[in-house]
């Protein structure tokens, strides 16, 4: 019984930890409205442009917020 619970616990941790560690954020700009926002999935299509290039990935929402504040194209007039 204890062995079964231990194996189930290890299996659960094995599935949960990788999913939590793969959180990624991008700062994107709508090509029509020019408004910026933070998204957690890589944008596909032509409606959104990744700000800072395709290689810029932020690992926390706070990092993405700080980056969005420093990007000139994301400031409102």
Average pLDDT over residues 27-47: 90
Rg of the chain in Å (alpha carbons): 18
Total domains, the chain? 1
| Tokens describing residue 41 | 């999935």
Q: Does pLDDT of 54 surpass 80? A: no
The 10s digit of each residue's pLDDT in 56-71 is 899 999 999 998 888 8
Angle at 13 between CA 12 and CA 15, to 5 degrees: 70
Q: Is residue 39 part of a domain?
A: yes
Q: Which domain holds residue 59?
A: 23-77
pLDDT at 23 over 60: yes
């Amino acid at each position: 019984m204890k062995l079964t619970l231990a194996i189930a616990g290890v299996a659960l941790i094995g599935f949960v930890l990788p999913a939590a560690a793969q959180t990624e954020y991008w700062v994107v700009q709508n090509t029509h409205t020019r408004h910026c926002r933070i998204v957690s999935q890589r944008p596909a299509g032509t409606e959104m442009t990744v700000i800072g290039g395709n290689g810029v990935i932020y690992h926390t929402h706070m990092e993405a917020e700080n980056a969005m504040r420093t990007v000139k194209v994301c400031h409102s007039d």
